[in-house]
Chains A and B, each alone.
Chain A
């Protein structure tokens, strides 16, 4: 018993510098939310965007592990995870019965519920909030479906501007391969089948993802997110993200 203990002592625990996130001013994209004191939001909000199969979830899981190892408390949010409407949204989508404005507002309700009940309280408590997709995916999807951009901007004027937004960019051709490697099937919505682009799901997937990417690029000019090349290895991408997040934590993001 004694020997390995001494051995461990000799090597010593790994020294980790616990970084207290440096405060940075927070703002909303538009009108914001009634009754929120932005100065009390001392945590950090980091959003990771990208299509299914772009490696978002893998990267976020690693970032959570890393941040927690550094002594930072984290919370994860994502689309369709609200207490309020996630089940109903799921059900409605299965039947594909909602028209586009309704679906758009339903998603916005889901987002707002998480924003007010999870994101903002966590930021007040100084947590690092990792958003597995944020408003940009919702906007890009709606814009592909012909929704008015000004209307969407007003709608998501309630959203808090994240401290960093990373967009994992992967070409549709790669996405399709990654999706098949994982599920052997394409998702109805991720293939944009509701748009009637093509009866052929494979074809529709490629065309839809290209359209979404196009809208992301449009949004990039307004929202300035960081485009990260998602074709590289998990480690390489994670290293890049960590480096950028370290700057954010230091208040220099």
Chain B
């Protein structure tokens, strides 16, 4: 068998083998049990609580959790705007890069606090090292905040009736220190020894062997690259993200970076199983996610390895696959794997240019973000999946004529209303945004923000809003998106798409947690069975197909038929 395919299979197996023990560890962290990290982090966390006047033993209900989450995010927003709009004169700016314009700073700040990391700029020329390090701070804390809300969900799903769901600051800080930090540090060390820069020196001017004079951008990159992968952030140090040979020097670093994309998201699923002592439920969720993921992955690998049909017709050797926008050291299969993982998990880092993917591969990357629950982002992937479970429970309940229940709690009108609103928000933001931009560019062709004509141009806009609304951050980067329209519209969409899908599921879980616990009986719909898994998958397929099929038909599907 081809070594590229073997490598892809090995990478996926290693990921699973690491995710299961990590899930067990995460469950222990959130349950407040002792772990081997206590020695290092207990004193540090105690100090932080003391300085911040936080009583980490104080139990919060779901509303208090959300207030704490939103308050700290507002603080982050102002801090980000302040730094990005003043970085030009702040320290650590050896290349003399300028401060950001207000609209770009608005977009960038929101992009990083929402764990999106959509980048309407190139790191080499638009950020000082101080700006980069500040963004790295958001990569830790936004991922930590997402994981903290997943911990609230865990706490709410327990078999009991209570409004006490743990302490937000404790979940948040432990996620950052005990989970994100150690993994990031290991990855950063691997990168540094593979040739990724970690220096405060500025650009280096060199003369090439052939005699051209060029410059090479550097910086404290390794630290940031590690957390952008581990925290499903995706905002790279260099403009082209992990396609850059300093950001991702070889096949091994690529494997390490690929593994860290879904690692914690998968581990959280197993953590749920250990935490609730419902391992079968965790395996059901994992299986549904994996089936969905493979449905996107397998055709994408096939299509990319097969090459661009329009170039095949020119009669050259396409054995390497579709290589436009790809790096030789990764090859087509590993690039396709990354493209699907990064979009399914809301990561948004890239190791090849998605704009140059063959049309249907581009569609599968968009589908991954439109579903946004096959592994999904840090914590929020599980919340999105929870919404699909609630809808599936409700529909199954109607089909068999029983009151819908999930884990011993009755699901009633109020919860269903919230679930439907949360689900509908995502297609609404994506389609409304794309429709408005399509209209604008039709009326004002002089805006000229499209890099490609025809169906593919439409796909560029559809992808951008899909990415913003999925809090993903990758792009069809040909789109000229550093304009006030794109900066502001994407900024608003990222904000809504981050917080409403957190508030909704936490509200549902919080309301359910306060309800009376009904022990399982013969009439209970069992959530941890294959039958129910199929049901969830069917609900996802139907809802997402109904929402997005027409838009995909106008973009990637039409493009596919035009060049096939």
A pairs with B: no
Binding site for A on B (CB under 8 A): none
